[in-house]
Structure 1
Amino acid sequence: MNEQRIQEYEQFLIKISQAIHSSKANPEVIYPLLQANLDKLDKNLIAILQNWSAARLLEAESSAAIKIAWMLMELSKLIQGFPLGSKEINVEISLAGYKILLTVFTRDSDRENWAVIQLNLGSTYRERISGNRTENLEKAIAACEMALQVFTPEAHPIPWAMTHNNLSLAYSERIFGNRAQNLELAIAALKKALQVFTPEVHLIPWAQTQSNLGGVYCNRILGSRAENLELAIAALEKGLQVFTPEAHPILWAMTQYNLGEAYKNRISGDRADNLEKAIATCKMALQVFTSEALPIQWAMTQNNLGTAYIERIYGDKGENMEMAIAACKMALQVFTFEALPIQWAMTQNNLGIAYGDRIWGDKSENLEKAIASYNMALQVRTREANPIDWAQTQINLGTDYSNRICGDKAENLEKAIKAYEQALQVYTKQAFPILWAGTQNNLGNAYGDRISGDKAENLEMAITSYEQALQVRTREENPVYWAMTQNNLGNAYSNRIWGNKAENLEMAIEAYKQALQVRTREANPIYWANTQNDLGEAYRNRISGNKAENLELAIATFDQALQVRTREANSIDWAVTQNNLGLAYSERILGDKAENLELAIAALEKALQVSTRETLPIQWAMTQNNLGEAYRNRISGDRVENLEKAIEAYEQALQVSTREALPIDWAMTQNNLGLVYTNRMSGNKAENLELAIAAFEQALQVRTREANPIDWAMTQNNLGVTYFYRISGDKPENLELAIAAFEQALQVHTPEALPSFWARTHNNLGVIYVRRISGDKAENLDKAIAAFEKALQIYSPETLPILWAETQMNLGTAYHSRVSGSDRTENSEKAIKAYEQALTVFTPEADPIKCLEIFQNLGNLHFTQGDWEKAIDAYENAITAAELSRSRATTDENRQKIMEKAIAVYQKQVQAHINIQQWDKAIETIERSKARNLVELLTNRDFYPKDNVPQEMVAELDRLRRSIPSLERQLQVIMDQLSGSIEKQQPQRLPLEKSRQRLKEELQESRQQLNEVLNQIKPFDPSFNLTQKIETIRFQEIQSLVDEQTAMIQWYFTGDGLLTSIITQHGSPVIFASSSAKDREVFFDWVEKYLGSYSQQREQWKNELPSHIAELAEILKIDEILAEINKIFACQGIKCDRLILIPHRILHCCLSMLYH
């Protein structure tokens, strides 16, 4: 620095000295002079002041030295309180001045002035920005305590009281030592000050000390937090009895500021009202604290106003956050990194909180802004310089890393855990019990959500953290935070892996109920709704108690939550609860299953209006998976479309739920996708099954026996079922893979732990052993029977009638397959008994298709034993069930399914009649089977009665023709689900059973209505009713259609070959059987050659037609047939002069070509 500049500083000091002397240190005179010389209030002034003062004090006589010292003390006090320039530099100049004074006034030479300087030094060190904050506060305390070695309440009551006031401020901010004890020392010091500062004698100091006492009680740790805040409010309001905005504007505003802090943190009274009072007091303080007059206080109040808006309950949450952000940004106009780094860091911290909670704008961007603000705050808030604030910002940073959308979720949670653990290095239970408890709570949240590491261990760490927090967060001391941690503890127990699942859920429910004692709809509707939502999830998953009742409780609590969680007020939480409600309706036991699934789909689709892939990808994926499940199980609507929608939803979910990011969710969706591909109707069946196998194998990469045994076993079972149905690959190998998968599942599915699953897996295993190709046939059947009998230990006709009947049916098949050998009779009887048991459930009315299958099996059993009469009876029952089912079927798909099952029954029935020479019954059965196709044509939905039928009858006919197929489809879906997935435990089967009963009744009623409509139509169109029924034609009626010189030749394909029957008026029919494999092969070779020639070489076909006909005549044994006809007619003494040919199946096509 050059000499001229030094002289300018010295001239400034002389001018200031004179002004202090002449004005008696009047701030109104001195501050404008300081403002005009702001460029000289810098570090250079400290050195020049030291040299300038030392020189003058050295030259001055004793009295002059005293005047210089007095001037220097006043200058130090004035600069310390000067609001402009750099606060940091101003404090350093003051500190330098006081240190110079200590060379003039020593404890030995002038005890009282020395003590005054110590008093001022204490205040200056407390306000100091430079240096280490901890050391500065220790020096402030030491200076005050040295002053108190001189000041006594008897000799110097006012300075003694002032020093205790300053000492209290230093203790209240102290970093070193125990925080709780420091605050107690601060309170004790203020109470001592109040022994002197009474309202009668020292009204203003009394009011100021009350204001300070209120500030300390706001932060007090020992004692009841609620009581401490009440004491704080009481003390601050005492201060305001004295301080008025007119007489004491600054002190009034400062007390209003502190009162706002107390109300902001108040526990007693209504939380919302308290925050309104906090906002009001801040706004009152801002009437005095303006950015022009008192910028620092203005900025501090803006900061506190921002924090009050962050927590505000009244008003629109989005608007409150915007007000908070605006207030913090205003504070940052004054609090800059360069001028006021500590306050700048504090406001950056609060701005981060506001951005973290912000509703308006993009959530992801808001969180990034919040994290940026915290990181800026941590540039100043270091553990060394300011450990308490450093710890607080670490907590806030941890919270926003927990919620962060950008970046890798797992990494974000690791950063959150690290931040919380950093904070706990400072926030210990002994020093900061409340903050320690809050951090433990947040750490528990992070461990609960943690992706890295072992999930079970993470949840145990979460529970430990919550239980630690509850040692401090008690209902009596801090009910709001106690309820919050109880709710979080409930979440951790809901998700807990270790321990007994049922017990864990009971502990979760108890924790939620505890939380709801404080979280009421009136006092805190948002938190009340949050806990209702979480309690609903616990009830939905509950194991203890009645499952149906638990699901009703879940639905009720979700509905409660949705009274507050509306799409308008809180769209994200609304979507979460809609998703949970959808799951509850999907699983609901009471009510109609079809209706419940429609309610589930509606709720899930509502959730997806808010949970989009862009804004909430994880929640979106979860809801897509749940929607896929609802569509997979859906009863209403088109089954094909429902399954396609399920696949679409699962594939959507897998775009977000990847193996890397969300392995458990990924595996769950892969398993679900495998289930829907197994049952898929669209596309190629073989390809669908390959896709199902691939999905299950993907799921098993995550679902391991060690990590998740129940889900692993479930997927193994599903894989086994799919290998059983597999079309591609080697059939024996597929069956072995199925057995291996079921045996894997049985390692977990035990009769004690999972009886329903154990039984279902044994039933599946039994079915495989019956059909097993590898190994010894007898051993396989023994294993099958053993497996079915194990399943029947769990299944009963009372509890699980469908599964019981299916297993009885399977058991019958196993015994049926074991009828050879010495135990033939015993096995046959057991098979018959099992089939008869199954028929008590699968009646023609209840399930005609299953009834058809069982009677067919019974017929086949008797057929193989040569018991033709019993076989005929069984086949007759099977045909009755088939005809009943086909008469009711209103879709081509259902008719085709029934036809495929029934055709073999007709063929066997024909053969059984032939075997006991019931030729006429054989012919009647042949005609009966052929009549099916004609009736199907006549029952087409497009077939209508005559025009003279009233339109209202036609409309009702139309309605019933539409509704009956829909009801049939829904009933079939129910039946498939009841006999299908292993995942349906007994409680979940009850709504399916109820829906089955309801649909049966509706179907029966609709069919009855259809019959009534047909009866009403009959007078207008008598022929229309006949076309709806099958009129069985007797053999005698057939004979009557043939005159005495006509013969009818009828062909009929069976499973083994071709039957030819001759029907005349003369006696019983004659039936030829051509059933050798060679004859059949020769016929189909001829068909292939004949049709090929017809379609590709028409002229050649015409030329070769005589040879084709001759060859066919030979295959059909026409010469033998004609010889037999001649023989029949010769016996009657007449000749046959006409033949009627009735072909069957492919013969129709071949013979019709002769007319082209």
Structure 2
Amino acid sequence: MNELRKIAYIKLIQSLLSCPSGKQVKILSAHPELIDEGLVEMMRVVAEMTGEQGQRNAGWLRNLAGKIETANYSLPRLQTKLAADTLLQQGLQQYQQSQYPRAFQSLQRCLALYQTIGDKARMATAWRVLGDIEQRRGNWDEAERLFRQSLQLSTELGDRCGMATSWGQLGDIEQRRGNWDEAERLFRQSLQLSTELGDRKGIATSWRVLGDIEQRRGNWDEAERLYQQSLELRIELDDRSGMASSWASLGDIQRNWGNWDEAERLYQQSLALRIELDDRSGMASSWASLGDIQRNWGNWDEADHLYRQSLKLSTKLGERSSIANSWGQLGNIEKLRGNWDEAERLFRQSLELSTELGEPFSMANSWGQLGDIQRFRGNWDEAEHLYRQYLEVMTKLGERFGIATSWGVLGNIEKLRGNWDEAERLFRQSLELSTNLGERSRMATAWGELGDIEKLRGNWDEAERLFRQSLELSTNLGDKSGMGDSYNDLAIVHTHFNQIPEAIAAWRKGLAVCPPNRFPLEALELGRSLGNTAFDIEEWETAIEGYEAAIEAVETLCSFTDSYTEKQKRREAEISVYEKLVQACIHAEEIGKALASVERSKSRNLIELLVNANLEPTGNIPEEMRQELDRLRREVTAKQRILESLDNPLNSNLVSDTDFGQRRSESPNFNPTAIETIREQYIAAKQALNALLDRLKAYDPNFTLTQRVEPIQFSEIQGLIDEKTALIEWYLTRDRIYAFVVTGGDGKISHWESTPTQYTDLQQLCQTYLDAYFSNKSQWKTDLDGFLQRLSDILDLPQLIARIPSDYRQLILIPYRDLHLFPLHALAINRATAPHYLCDRFPDGVKYAPSCQFLQVSQRNQKSESQNRFFAIQNPTGDLTYADLEVEAIFPAFHPNASCLTRQQATKLALSQHPYEADFRSAEYLHFAGHGGFNFTNPLDSFLVLAGAVAGGENNSGRDPERFVSWRKGESVELEKCYTLGELFELNLPYCRLVILSACETGLIGVSPDLEEYMSLGLGFLYAGAQNVICSLWAVNDLSTAILMVKLYEELQTQSSVSQALNQAQQWMRSVTKRALIQWLDELSLEKEVKDSLRKNLPRLGLKPPEYRPFEDRHHWAAFCAIGI
């Protein structure tokens, strides 16, 4: 090298060292003649000299020299190399930040550039990282292909560090596939080479992954040793990401051993460091692990929250294997909550994705979880099939923990089948393997199962020994669920030995560690058993204690599901607990508590709906968002209830005839197309509601759509009634009728209890009553007085009324189940020729309510101002002459604040359009005069017929069966053009004081043989916001209904309450004579045309004497009752 060229090299190097970042290529481009081997040699000499002088530029200079050499001294190739290196660094940084889609793009771009210039070392690096991303996505075949390409190139280059890394990555793939022997072989190759190279970080990584293999095999001691080695080396290297991974792995070991406190500490350590490092993939993993701990402790809501955090982040990162695991974990929570359908859905999602990914371990877990669902449902053959699939995979993988679990569950299935010897064999296999593994939680379970076998065989001493072993180990583990099960088992043993105090003590200990709000499944069993045992020995206070714990557990289980049907099923499954609690309270002479206990079983879904409908987020929330929340909440509620009712109809085959001139209709059902439309609308509304809730979090982070509704206490019931008001609430068990009488002022309570014969008589009466009603309406009318007299006798009504002071002015009636069918206010309380009815006894009227708690909730929402806004829907079908006259007679009293949709105008569409929508929704008095009908099979399909819903004509064969259903003879009805009860749940009537449903069967409810859940057309308006509803209990007569309604509105002008006005109107109806009726018509402030029309339509009175009472019979006036406050 001559001196001049040497000087030129040095000047160029100095220019490169002093130029701004990114300008190096431009400087080199100005001196192409100097870019050769000499420049590279001189750059390294200068780097060596500056290195000795401690200059920071030495490394940069060596790096640039290497790049020029790699580019074969070609300036264009060097430009490509520098651009590729920039993209590689960008991709690696994005990968570290879990920005996998961006990293993938950057790495693909740099790979293409490296391939252009033939930079094999960097190509191998890019393939390795791309493989990692594909592995995280679950694309294992593609990941393996990329890892093998990288390995091949590293081998060709003699890059032993790269080879070690690739072997480790290929080992990860085999581990995912369940090929643990092959994975171990690859990991050991990687470890050996890392050891030869002195690559301590690689050594630490190898130890950790080898620990994973040993953990899978159930060799937890060896796994812990390897994890500890890895952690120590990572701490020494200050490899913080590796330290976080090691802590998480050690947490897994502690969790497997049942040391949940220590496991949580390690997981929290790992999470804190991963958050600091912004390792989002690691954060998702830590949240899932912490969710497992909370699940083991019985904190299901917190576990659910953590799993959902993990799922959300894994979804964002596109980590499909983690997504599948999260679905499985969330399924476990739903399984524990008893939501088996939802659990099954999540398990199947997990299985589908795991199958797509080819993850045998995860697939097997899903099979096992689905097997649990089938086992709980009693489908033992299907459960066994799924668990044998699970066992087969676990055996193939050598996953001993899974094998032990499989044997335990298969043993449980054999126990349920009564194959005790085979069950014992499987339990002992599971116990032996769990003992070898040191898996103490599984050991405790196995001892408990073996104790069950001995108990079934009658070997009570041996059973007790095993249950105590199980309890001791569960206690050491802090496994409260296991402790609760063991205490229950031991209590049963004590009961067998007649050691009742010891049994009661054991159940109480179980409830202490498994409170109903955290361990509802265990607490339900413990509380029920405690209550039943105490009930049998007549220790009433202890029985109350047990049953109250059991019912609280039921309510906790109900809070875990949004399904109204499922809530009702869970309550009905424990009907005996509710009944026995009431009976125990009565035996203990705690009558007030007995009534409060009755309330816990009455219309709980209705109460929760009413309370939750008024929940509002806090903060300065725009009014339009509040309105949208109310609209979407009501729409979701309505459509969910409709869909559930269609999937779960009541077991009733009641059908009915239709009499012209009566305001009733046979109840059709939705057609399949309409059902699918409702389902689509529900999904869309649910999505919109969830999106709105996300937006509301910015104002109120703690807002939720539901809250736990606490049961009403007797002291609160006493506060509901005025000084001169009394309340009677009935309750039906499976063999008795109970009635509770509460008087205002003094707050006294008494109860009445029927004989079993009276209960049987009531059931027979109800069936006879309904049979007559549906088969022969004329005969039913004739027999109505007899039916009601029989009911009065069965209920001992005169005796009940005698308990109420004679100066009391108002009565509140709260029927139960079958009693809602009858006009209790019209029952006779004497046997005189001119009977004295219950409503005669109370001048301020008789009103009804679904429950005391309904009254409490409704009283909180009383309306204040009044402008007497009136809206009427008048005779939409055009075939009810008196309905027209009725509205025309009532309308002037509210002028000018009155609005009306008449006949063919009264369509469902018109009610949702200007100007009638505003009038409808802002009305204080809402009047419907038309056809209605109750559907006993699907109460939510009960309906009010609107204009356009009826299609006349004798021949319906040409109509689309997907839209029209048979209605009455010669006609069809399109249910979508009616207003159904299900759709009423969407309404919001914030100003409404009174809804009058002048139609048929608007007050009937579905009759359930178990717990009551109040469901009527009147309920729909109460939920919508109406304070009071007047509705009917049968197919009412058009003429007498019209006259009653006109008189009712007349009374409303002067009476202080709706019930008082209805009472006065009904008393007038039954006592009015022909002469008085005509005089009344003459005195009405109606237009002459309306009066003439009414007189003309009373031809059947022409031959009757002046003192004839045309509406004296109860079928004319007693159908209507007032519900509300």
Q: Please give the TM-score of this superposition, normalised by the length of structure 1.
A: 0.45
The structure whose residues are more often helix, as a share, is 1
Q: Please give the TM-score of this superposition, normalised by the length of structure 2.
A: 0.46
| Larger Rg over CA atoms | 1
Indicate the structure whose relative CO is greater, using CA pairs within 8 Å and at least 6 residues apart. Answer: 2
